[in-house]
């Protein structure tokens, strides 16, 4: 089995290095793996039934809906309204308006589900505003790169849906598990910004004039539609009024309402949102199809069981296993995007996690955090690409700016590993045994 596993790994790396699409590389590796299975099992029949069985899923229907919700809101005035609504309340904090990056990304991430969409939407308004007011470019870029990853950590999240389907766990439980870690990451980011601001007072503009409470409340009224949409989606999840897929449908309806209310709902914006959703959904579904076939192929060969037994035979402590997996995912993040990392590794890693005794819901949040690291890891970090395009800076400048926030994500992984209840408390309250 070790020889077969090594052959498939070498083949996969060779195909990826050759520029073959990830989904096609996965399908090819699955096909080759089936050739090592005895009993004359037809690879073509397994391919057809596996792809159909894993794609025809009511749960997976939430994926294009959440993507569509983010696409609609991306084309409204939401980012501008959030900046105006949050900024009056932050003048007292060290770092002042740079905290808007963190808070705005957290709010938009909760209705978007996409890291790149969150980063691009908030950066579009925040970068020019912060530059105009004299804030440091490096910390502005770094905080946007880091905070943009909140789009996949704070539910609803496309990445969480993909993991839940791949690992066969409850989407609602994974969603609930992401809330407190999301707040933890936001606190780490804001804490770093505050400490940096205290240490570098000369790199900040002078405080803005004080404003009245009435003016602050008037500006914050811009946040009401977005907050109502968040409450609608998650109240439905928490109280069992709707499934995750139904909540995604409500989210689309709510996003249309916000777009209409803000004056951003036009035929052109609608058509762009539909086409953007179609492109992203097709890409993810094709990757999932390839991953499901490779997973089935590996199950036939017995590789996952052999690897899990091998890991079990090493008698690694749970902390040692998580440390090893973190390093592995950081390395993968330099070459692959987050969803590809999940679908490429789930078939092999899940048996190890079960053998080590970790909860699969907890592991989903761990995986999302390391995927966030991939979003800010050169050379293929999506958020780095977004900010490089929007700021006009070179890739090295953006990557160095994001480096402190990368290490804050490493710290977040360490914290939830030592204190797993941060992740599990809400799922356990909602779904007691």
How far apart are the C-alpha atoms of 262 and 253, rounded to whole Å? 14
Q: Give the pLDDT of residue 242.
A: 75
The residue written with tokens 């803005």 in the block is 208
How far apart are the C-alpha atoms of 412 and 241, rounded to whole Å? 32
CA 83 to chain centre: 22
Residue 51: asked if its preceding bond is cis (omega within 30°), the reply is: no
Burial of 137 (0-12, 13-18, 19+ CB in 10 A): middle
- DSSP per-residue letters across 244-310: HHHHHHHHHHHHHHHHHHHT---HHHHHHHHHHHHHHHHHHHHHHHHHHHHHHHHHHHTHHHHHHHH
- Residue 397 · residue 131 · CB < 8 Å: no
Number of domains in the chain: 1
Range of the domain at 339: 2-430
Q: Give the pLDDT of residue 223.
A: 74
Segment 300-350, tens digit of pLDDT? 776 655 655 666 667 778 888 888 888 878 777 765 667 777 877 777 788
Q: Give the pLDDT of residue 373.
A: 84
- Residue 70 · residue 117 · CB < 8 Å: yes
Nearest Cα to Cα of residue 412 among 346, 322, 336, 348: 322
Tokens at residue 36, please?
A: 């090592």
How far apart are the C-alpha atoms of 375 and 383, rounded to whole Å? 6
How far apart are the C-alpha atoms of 413 and 408, rounded to whole Å? 9
Q: Give the pLDDT of residue 180.
A: 93
Q: Give the pLDDT of residue 134.
A: 79
Q: Give the pLDDT of residue 130.
A: 79
Segment 358-377, tens digit of pLDDT? 899 999 999 999 888 877 87
Largest CA distance in the chain: 78
Q: What is the pLDDT along the chain (433 residues), one digit of tens a residue?
A: 556 666 777 787 788 777 777 778 878 888 887 777 655 677 777 777 877 776 776 667 777 887 787 778 767 766 566 667 777 777 777 877 788 888 878 877 776 666 766 777 677 767 777 787 778 888 888 888 888 888 788 877 778 888 888 888 888 899 889 989 999 999 999 999 999 988 888 877 777 667 777 777 777 777 777 778 777 777 776 677 777 677 778 888 888 888 888 777 788 888 888 888 888 778 777 777 777 777 677 767 766 556 556 666 677 788 888 888 888 787 777 656 677 778 777 777 888 888 788 899 999 999 999 888 877 876 556 677 777 767 777 777 888 888 899 999 999 999 999 999 999 998 888 777 6
Q: Give the pLDDT of residue 183.
A: 92
Q: Give the pLDDT of residue 326.
A: 85
pTM: 0.74
- Residue 284 · residue 66 · CB < 8 Å: no
Tokens at residue 137, please?
A: 């470019």
Strands (E), 134-240: none
Q: What is the chain's alpha carbon radius of gyration, rounded to the nearest angstrom?
A: 22
Q: Give the pLDDT of residue 116.
A: 67
């Amino acid at each position: 089995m070790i020889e077969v596993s090594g052959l498939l790994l070498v083949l996969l790396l060779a195909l990826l290095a050759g520029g073959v699409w990830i989904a096609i590389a996965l399908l090819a590796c699955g096909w080759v793996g089936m050739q090592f299975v005895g009993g004359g099992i037809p690879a073509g029949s397994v391919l057809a039934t596996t792809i159909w069985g894993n794609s025809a899923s009511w749960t997976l229907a939430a994926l294009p809906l959440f993507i569509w919700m983010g696409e609609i809101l991306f084309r409204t005035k939401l980012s501008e309204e959030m900046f105006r609504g949050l900024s009056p309340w932050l003048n007292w904090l060290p770092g002042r308006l740079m905290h808007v990056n963190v808070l705005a990304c957290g709010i938009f991430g909760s209705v978007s589900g996409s890291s790149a969409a969150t980063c691009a939407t908030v950066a579009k308004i925040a970068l020019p505003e912060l530059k105009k007011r004299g804030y440091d470019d490096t910390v502005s870029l770094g905080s946007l790169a880091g905070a943009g990853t909140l789009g996949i950590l704070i539910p609803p999240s496309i990445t969480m849906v993909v993991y839940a389907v791949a690992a066969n766990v409850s989407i609602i439980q994974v969603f609930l598990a992401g809330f407190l870690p999301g707040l933890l990451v936001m606190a780490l980011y804001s804490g770093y910004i505050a400490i940096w601001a205290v240490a570098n007072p000369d790199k900040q503009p002078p405080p803005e004039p004080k404003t009245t409470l009435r003016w602050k409340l008037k500006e914050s009224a811009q946040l009401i539609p977005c907050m109502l949409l968040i409450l609608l989606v998650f109240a439905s999840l928490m109280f069992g009024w709707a499934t995750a897929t139904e909540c995604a449908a409500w989210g689309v309806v709510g996003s249309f309402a916000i777009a209409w209310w803000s004056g951003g709902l036009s035929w052109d914006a609608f058509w762009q949102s539909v086409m953007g959703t179609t492109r992203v959904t097709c890409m993810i579904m094709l990757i999932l199809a390839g991953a499901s076939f490779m997973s089935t192929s590996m199950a036939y060969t017995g590789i996952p069981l052999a690897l899990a037994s091998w890991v079990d035979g090493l008698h690694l402590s749970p902390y040692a296993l998580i440390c090893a997996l973190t390093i592995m995912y950081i390395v993968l993040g330099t070459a692959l995007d987050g969803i590809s990392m999940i679908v490429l590794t789930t078939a092999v890693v899940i048996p190890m996690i079960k053998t080590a005794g970790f909860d699969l819901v907890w592991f989903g949040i761990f995986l999302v955090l390391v995927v966030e690291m991939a979003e800010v890891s050169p050379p293929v970090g999506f958020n780095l690409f977004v900010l490089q395009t929007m700021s006009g800076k070179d890739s090295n400048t953006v990557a160095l700016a994001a480096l402190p926030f990368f290490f804050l994500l490493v710290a977040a992984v360490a914290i939830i590993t030592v204190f797993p209840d941060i992740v599990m408390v809400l799922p356990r309250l909602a779904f007691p045994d």
